[in-house]
Amino acid sequence: MSASSALCRSLAAALALTSTAALAAQQPAPPRATDASPPVEVTISQDGGTTRCEPATLRLPAETDVTLSLVNQSGLPATVTAPKMFENRQILHHDGGLAHIANESGFTVRPSTRGEVKLRTLAPGEYDFSCATTRNQGTPSRGKLVLVAPNQ
């Protein structure tokens, strides 16, 4: 192969790379699926001997980073559980008055405190969650996590 032939091939390859880069630069970036929505607040309260967890239904985008603000308005330690959702692989960060439960099914929220959990939600579908205080662990307040495709 001659030197001029090799030079032509090198120039053609460089031109192809430059054209590809220019086209890529013109394409708008797709929206990030990880752009988190504002924190969603879950409030735990005690009404007599009954624990309340509000809202009872949480509608969240599936397979997206979200922040849950867990607010315990009761004077007792409270537990919020959501099997699969609160596993270590889903949790990105947590702070405030929270302690992650060893079996990875939930968080304990200290009395009269707030804590935040940033997590990656699961695939679309309905999942159970519950809240209980130390007084009524046998009869927790139950709710639903409704995870929908981000475009819905």
Instruction: Give me the torsion for CA of 87, 91, 97, 100, rounded to 10°.
Output: 20
What is the model's pLDDT at position 39? 86
Contact assessment for residue 64 and residue 90, using Cβ atoms and an 8 Å cutoff: no
User: Is residue 25 included in any domain, yes or no?
Assistant: no
What is the model's pLDDT at position 136? 82
Q: d(Cα 84, Cα 104) in Å, to the nearest integer?
A: 8
Please tell me the total count of domains within the chain: 1
List the domain range (segments joined by +) for residue 51. Answer: 40-148
Question: Which stretches in the chain have pLDDT values below 50?
Answer: 7-8, 11-25, 27-36
What is the model's pLDDT at position 109? 94
What is the model's pLDDT at position 102? 72
- Burial of 42 per CB tally in 10 Å (0-12, 13-18, 19+): buried
Give the domain CATH number at 100: 2.60.40.420
What is the model's pLDDT at position 37? 63
Tell me if the pTM is above 0.85.
no
User: Is residue 8 included in any domain, yes or no?
Assistant: no
What is the model's pLDDT at position 23? 41
What is the model's pLDDT at position 127? 96
Q: In what order do the strands lie in the sheet with 114-120?
A: 50-54, 40-47, 65-72, 114-120, 91-96
What is the model's pLDDT at position 6? 54
What is the model's pLDDT at position 14? 46
User: Is residue 34 included in any domain, yes or no?
Assistant: no
User: Is residue 114 included in any domain, yes or no?
Assistant: yes
